[in-house]
């Protein structure tokens, strides 16, 4: 096993790439009672067009298969539901699907290895029938309809649809009633056999473990499954431009909800691009967002005092190899006033430069937030899994923040915060 240490948080990760290609990461936390395990598949909602290893033809499946698969994995041939089995052991189990990966997890204080038996069994042994697939369509159909009534979800999806012409990130992770109607057991097995292979999976465990002993326990529960080779994922070309700069939808809300979206220029070939720079770029974006619109910013205080912001907006940079965007979401009594003030603040910082005092203060604050993430075993494990699928070791955020300069951050500001790629999504009554 390879051991990677970070002295700043006094943490270490034991990593081994198994013979079958699967990556296992163990982060020991001595004296911590809670144990957390997450097993991820590099397969998300955007992966509906691909070439199976060993084949030549393109396979295209309905939107929503990754999420459908996640739902179906708990049902076993013996009639039991693995989620119920794990709950009976006293562990808290769950699963989720994102744009770029699917994950199965549980946390507990006791019965870790008893739960591991069931956990590793159900993820490696799918059971799909015509009957249970048809039944699931009704369940997921209800979920899809329920989300259509959530203003927070609609303002988010509408923002993505306003930014992206073709990239499947703009589509609902669950698919639609129409697309899931075309899913059958053959499609589920094909996608499972293509993506749920060890070389396309990673496992992260965090808690009070002996890494060598835990690694043996994990290996002993793995079914023999050879590395089948690389899956060729096919994504449509995406223009740099946005689809529209503004989108509004009427729903039952007491106060309008907004999302400001900023589409990153993924296709440009400048020095800010490339996987080697993505962590520094992400840090710079976090600093900029806090300078412009964070809780301590002049803009936030002004809008809050005027009643045009109810709370500090949620701000995030979402990215993968095929898409990247900034999202700023909040509630405002007058979205247009808020939005104009945001654009004016952006121009002001571009023209006058980044205030040095704010830059160093917020950089220090963000570093503190990174350190705090290492307090909780679930935060650690999910962070390492999510960033692994992006090709990033999570320690890099702690290691690279010192090298992010005010000059580099200004380059990121000029490169990404381009008004032509900024959109506004509103949900109001």
Instruction: Provide the annotated active-site residues.
Output: 70
Alpha helices by DSSP H, 207-305: 211-220, 278-293, 298-305
What's the Cα-to-Cα distance from 322 to each of 167, 238, 275, 281, 387, rounded to whole Å?
8, 9, 12, 16, 15
- Distance in angstroms (rounded) separating the CA atoms of residues 14 and 207: 12
Task: Enter the DSSP assignment of 227.
Answer: -
Cα 27 from Cα 350, distance rounded (Å): 42
Helix (H) or strand (E) holding 372: helix 356-372
Structure tokens at 221: 């529960």
How many of the other CB atoms lie within 10 Å of CB of 77? Answer: 10
CB 52 within 8 A of CB 44: no
Strand partners, 4: 13
Are residues 317 and 282 in contact, defined by beta-carbon separation less than 8 angstroms?
A: yes
CA nearest neighbour of 127 among 72, 197, 64: 72
| Cβ count within 10 A of residue 185 | 17
| Number of residues in the chain | 429
**Cα→Cα distances 144→67, 76, 252, Å:** 11, 24, 18
392 CB-near residues (< 8 Å, 6+ apart): 278, 279
H or E, element range at 269: none
């Amino acid at each position: 096993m390879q051991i990677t240490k970070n002295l700043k948080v006094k943490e270490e990760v034991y990593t081994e790439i198994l013979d079958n290609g699967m990556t296992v990461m163990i982060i020991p936390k001595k004296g911590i009672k809670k144990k957390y395990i997450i097993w991820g598949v590099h397969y998300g909602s955007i992966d509906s067009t691909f070439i199976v290893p060993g084949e030549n033809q393109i396979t295209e499946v309905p939107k929503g298969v990754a999420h459908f698969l996640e739902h179906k994995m708990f049902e076993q041939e013996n009639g039991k539901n693995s989620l119920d089995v794990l709950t009976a052991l006293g562990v808290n189990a769950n699963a989720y699907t994102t744009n770029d990966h699917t994950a199965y997890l549980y946390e507990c204080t006791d019965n870790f290895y008893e739960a591991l038996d069931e956990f590793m069994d159900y993820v490696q042994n799918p059971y799909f029938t015509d009957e249970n697939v048809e039944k699931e369509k009704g369940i997921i159909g209800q979920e899809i309809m329920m989300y259509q009534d959530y203003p927070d979800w609609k303002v988010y999806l509408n923002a993505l649809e306003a930014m992206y012409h073709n990239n499947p990130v703009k589509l609902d992770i669950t698919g639609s009633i129409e697309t899931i109607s075309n899913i059958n057991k053959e499609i589920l097995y094909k996608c499972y056999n293509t993506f749920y292979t060890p070389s396309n999976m990673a496992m992260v465990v965090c808690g009070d473990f002996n890494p060598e002993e835990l690694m043996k326990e994990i290996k002993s529960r793995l079914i023999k499954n050879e590395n089948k080779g690389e899956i060729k994922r096919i994504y449509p070309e995406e223009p740099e431009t946005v689809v529209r700069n503004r989108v509004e939808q009427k729903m039952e809300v007491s106060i309008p909800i907004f999302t400001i979206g900023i589409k990153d220029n993924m296709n440009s070939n400048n020095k800010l691009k490339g996987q080697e720079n993505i962590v520094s770029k992400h840090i710079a974006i976090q600093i900029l967002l806090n300078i412009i619109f964070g809780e301590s910013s002049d803009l936030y205080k002004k809008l809050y005092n005027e009643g045009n912001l109810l709370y500090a907006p949620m701000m995030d940079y979402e990215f993968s190899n095929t898409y990247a965007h900034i999202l700023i979401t909040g509630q405002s009594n007058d979205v247009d006033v808020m939005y104009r003030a945001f654009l004016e603040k952006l121009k002001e910082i571009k023209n006058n430069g980044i205030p040095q005092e704010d830059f160093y203060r917020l950089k220090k604050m963000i570093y503190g937030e990174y350190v705090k993430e290492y307090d909780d075993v679930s935060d650690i494990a999910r962070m390492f899994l999510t960033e692994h699928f992006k090709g990033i070791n999570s320690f890099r955020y702690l290691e690279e923040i010192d090298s992010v300069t005010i000059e580099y951050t200004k380059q990121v500001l000029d490169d990404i915060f381009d008004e032509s790629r900024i959109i506004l999504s509103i949900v109001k009554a």
